[in-house]
Structure 1
C-alpha cells in the first residue's frame, strides 16, 4: 500500500524505488501483487513513467487513509511515539488530580490515563514490561531496594477525611482526631487482602484502635455513598483530594482528620531506561511540587517513614 502511494506521487517506479530504498524490480513486484489482489490495473506504464488508471485514482485516497490509520495505530502503542501512559488506580483519586494539573501546564504532551486493577507489585510489573510509563502507588520498601531499572520518588502525601451522613454523631464536627474514630465503624468494603492499602489501614487501625469493616458485597462507590447518607452509624475514610459526586439530598459531610493527620504516602514509579520524551517532564513536574499534606502533627505507616 505504501509502495502504491509513493509510486502514485512520484509518477515513476524508479523514483519510488529510490524514495523507499528498494530496487525498481521490488516496486514493480509489489504493485503487481496489489493489482492481482484487487483484480484491477492501478497504473498504465508509459515511456515517461507510470500514470494512474481510473481505478488507481479511485483507490488512491483510500490508500492514503489506510496509511494514516496504520500510522496512528503504530503511534498508539509504540514507546516514544504513543501518548505518555500513566496509571492512577482510580480517576477519583489525588494522582488523577495531579495529572490533570500537569496536563493543564503542558498541553503539548499527549496523556493516556489508565486505571490498572492491580496493587503495587502488579503496577511495578506493568512499568517493567513497558505496559505503562509510570504509576502512582504506595511503595512499601525504600526506593533503593526496588529491582533495577525500577525507580520511585515521593509524589503525594494524602491526608484523610471522614465521610459521614447528616445523622452521624460526628456530622457537625469541624475536624476529628483518630482517637475519636475508635468508637465508630469505618466501612471500607472490598479492600483487597495483602494490598498496600490493606497494610496501611491495618497499621492505622493498630495505632489508634480503629474498627475497619471490609465485609459486604461491593456495589460501587455510588451505592456505598447512598448507604452512608441514610445511616446514623456508617462512615468511611476518603483522600482529601479524592473527587466524589452525590445528590444534594444526601447532605454528606467531609470532615478533616487531624491531630495527628494520617498520611497515605504515594510515590511516582517509573523505569529508569524508559525513552519516552515526556516522562522526564512528568518526573520534573512531580519533583518540583511539595508533597502536600497539612501542617502540624502527622502519622505515617512504618514503611512510609522510610520510603526515601
Structure 2
C-alpha cells in the first residue's frame, strides 16, 4: 500500500468534525468537490467506505475506528514540521462554531492579511474554545473570559475583541413580531428559549445573569413543547436550526441571537434589536503570554485596534466583565 496522503486524511477528519462536506471545504479553504475527491482517494486506497452515503458527514463503522488514529497522525505530522520550522505551523485560534461572529471576524482578518497562516479550531459546547486554549490545542481563543464551570488558569491574558449585541428572534405570529425594536421590559411577559444555556458554561452564566438583571424568563429545557424533539446537541449549528424552526412555528416562544451570528434564512422569523439597554455578549481574545508564535502579535494587534468599544456605554454586560470591556 502506498503512503497515506495527509491532505486526504485531514479532509476526512475535518468532514467528521464539521458534519458536512460543505463546511469542511470552508474550513480547509478548498472546494467541496476537492474535499470529495480527497475522501474518494483515501477510500480507494484503504478499500473501505469512510462515510455513510445516506447521511453526509456521518462516518461508517470503519471510519469511526480510523478517526482517533487519523487525528494522531495529523498531530504527529504537524508537530514534526513545527519542530524544525515553527514559523510554518498555522496560528490556531479556537472558536465555538463556524457560524459565530468570531469565525467571521477571523475571515475578515484573513481577507486583509492574505499571507497570514491562521487555522480556525472549531470547538463545541462540551469541549469549548477556552478548553482548547488551556489544553494547548490552540494558540488563542475567542470566548467570554469570566464564568463557566472551569475558571481560566491564572496568567492567561485577555483583550476585548467584540461586544455582540443580542437580538430577539420571534415567529411572525408572536405578539412582538411587528415591532422595529424591543426593550427588556417588553420581553418580560414572554418566555425566551435558549437550550444551549442548559450546558454549564460561561455563556449559560451570562444568560443567567441577564435574566437576573432584566426579569426575563429564560428557558433552557431541551423540549419546550409536547412531542418536540430535543433541540440541543453537540453540533450547535444543526441544533440552532431546530430551535429556529420551533420559534417560527410558535406564537409565544422567542430566542436570542447575536447580531454577528450567521442564522439560517427562515421567512417566518422576525429579528428584533433590543434597546434600553442593549444586552451584549462580551467576546474576548484569550492567549498564553508565553506563546511565541510569530503570527500571534499581529493577530492580537488587529483585534485590539478594531474592538467596538464605542458601543459599550449603551450595552448591558455582566459587571464582572466591565473591567476588560469598559
TM-score by length of 2: 0.65
Give how far 1:297 is off: 2.8
Check whether the contact 2:193–2:254 (CA below 8 A) recurs between aligned residues: yes
Task: Indicate yes or no: 2:186 matched with 1:180.
Answer: yes
Q: 3-state DSSP class of the match of 2:324?
A: coil
Match of 1:283 among 292, 300, 308: 300
Q: 3-state DSSP class of the match of 1:162?
A: strand
Check whether the contact 2:170–2:253 (CA below 8 A) recurs between aligned residues: yes
Check whether the contact 1:127–1:134 (CA below 8 A) recurs between aligned residues: yes
Match of 2:273 among 231, 239, 256: 256
Q: How does 1:147-166 map to 2 (within 5 A)?
A: 147=153, 149-166=155-172
- Rate the CA distance shift 1:293–1:71 in 2: closer, same or farther, 3 A: same
Q: Which residue of 1 aligns with 2:109?
A: 102
Larger radius of gyration: 1
Cα root mean square deviation, aligned: 2.6
Q: Which residue of 2 aligns with 1:48?
A: none
C-alpha deviations, 1:253-282, integer Å up to 9, x for none?
Answer: 111001111121111001112121111111
Q: Which residue of 2 aligns with 1:191?
A: 197
Check whether the contact 2:95–2:142 (CA below 8 A) recurs between aligned residues: yes
Task: Indicate yes or no: 2:246 matched with 1:239.
Answer: no
Task: Return the alpha-carbon distance in structure 2 between the equivalents of residues 147 and 295 of structure 1.
Answer: 27
Q: Which residue of 2 aligns with 1:87?
A: 94
Task: Indicate yes or no: 2:133 matched with 1:116.
Answer: no
Give how far 1:204 is off: 0.7
Task: Return the alpha-carbon distance in structure 2 between the equivalents of residues 195 and 221 of structure 1.
Answer: 17
Give how far 1:211 is off: 0.6
Check whether the contact 1:139–1:267 (CA below 8 A) recurs between aligned residues: yes
Task: Return the alpha-carbon distance in structure 2 between the equivalents of residues 185 and 293 of structure 1.
Answer: 31
Give how far 1:124 is off: 4.0
Gaps of 5+ in 2: 1-75, 223-229, 233-238
Give how far 1:76 is off: 7.6
Q: How does 1:35-50 map to 2 (within 5 A)?
A: none
User: Is the deviation greater in 146-155 or in 84-93?
Assistant: 146-155
TM-score by length of 1: 0.69
- Rate the CA distance shift 1:87–1:253 in 2: closer, same or farther, 3 A: same
Gaps of 5+ in 1: 1-69
